[in-house]
Structure 1
Amino acid sequence: MSFVAKPPAPESGPPPAETVIENDGFFPDIDPREIRELARITSSITAPRLRGAILAAMDATEIDLRAWVAEHKAQGHETLADIPAPQLGGESRNLIRYRRIIALLAKAELIDRHRDFDTTAAGAGPGDELDESVRELRRDAAHAIRDMLGRTRTTVDLI
């Protein structure tokens, strides 16, 4: 006996109604519709699932940037937008990077935690491809965090 899960139904209709997620006051609030667009998250992902993934991404990012935020607050910058940074498209690079981090981590969370499954041998290939995709999403988010911190993306140690 075998079981084969069917792929998710194709996207139909507009994404569900979603409200902006309030952040901690330093980082900007996050609009789930914008994250859906940035990360190409289909409407087959429910609003509560996306909200949970975004909250997890916001939490993880806050932990990674906690010392950096404290340093900037000590300098008198009350929000991420207050930190002097080069502009791209009329917006602070820091704001662009922050939204990118949230989109990448939220998508990685959704793929990693909510993937469909297949218990036959045929399911092994797509799952392995998703693992690689999750690693790439997390790597890109780590790069964006390192860019905000002003650190290089590569660490080399001589053994």
Structure 2
Amino acid sequence: MTFISVAQTQTETPAVISSHPFWPSIDPEKVRDAQRIDGTVTDSRLVHAVVSAMASVNADLKPFRQEQQAAGINTLADVEAETINEESVLVFSYRRAVYATAHANLIERYRNFDSTAEGNKQADQQDLTADDLYRDARFAIRDILGVTHITVELI
């Protein structure tokens, strides 16, 4: 059995990240907690991943946002939707998409730390996790858009 110490590199809590006023702000510490991202990921690297994820998710949802705003709706929380624990499921799905995309991005970037056979084996396992996270993000985006998760085409 091997014990691996996880470095604690955090110095201060990073600020909440806002984007277009339609979308909810994202707290990097909540991303870290929800996605179980340990201290080997620095705060600045986490913030970078979250900003990148927000830009990607916002781009995917831009037509949706524009449609809602044209209908006079100013924020995602104002879009009519079911609520769970007093939160719109659309807001939850947006956070899920951003969290998963940011985490997948971090996993892909950390692949280059260990080039041994064991490191490559672990990296291959992480690729599956990154793919799973990207899938989760796609599902969350599709939930916001109100479309199914599966696309089938008959030949």
Q: TM-score, normalised by structure 1?
A: 0.89
CA distance in 1, matches of 2:11, 2:86: 28
**Per-residue deviation, 1:43:** 2.2
1:132 match: 128
1:150 match: 146
- 2:92 maps to 1:96: yes
1:87 to 83, 86, 92: 83
Preserved contact between residue 9 and residue 41 of structure 2 (Cα < 8 Å):
no
- SS of the residue aligned with 1:115? helix
Preserved contact between residue 9 and residue 40 of structure 2 (Cα < 8 Å):
no
One-letter code aligned to 1:35: V
CA distance in 2, matches of 1:43, 1:117: 15
CA distance in 2, matches of 1:14, 1:117: 19
Alignment length (residue pairs): 153
CA RMSD of the aligned region, Å? 1.9
One-letter code aligned to 1:64: D
CA distance in 2, matches of 1:143, 1:15: 34
Higher relative contact order structure (alpha carbons within 8 Å, sequence separation ≥ 6): 1
2:15 match: 19
**Per-residue deviation, 1:123:** 2.4
Identity %: 39
One-letter code aligned to 2:111: R
Q: Which runs of 5+ in 1 are unaligned?
A: 1-6
One-letter code aligned to 2:109: R
Alpha-carbon spacing, 1:14–1:114, altered in 2? closer, same or farther (3 Å): closer
CA distance in 2, matches of 1:68, 1:11: 41
Q: Which runs of 5+ in 2 are unaligned?
A: none
Q: TM-score, normalised by structure 2?
A: 0.91
**Per-residue deviation, 1:38:** 1.2
1:40 to 23, 29, 36: 36
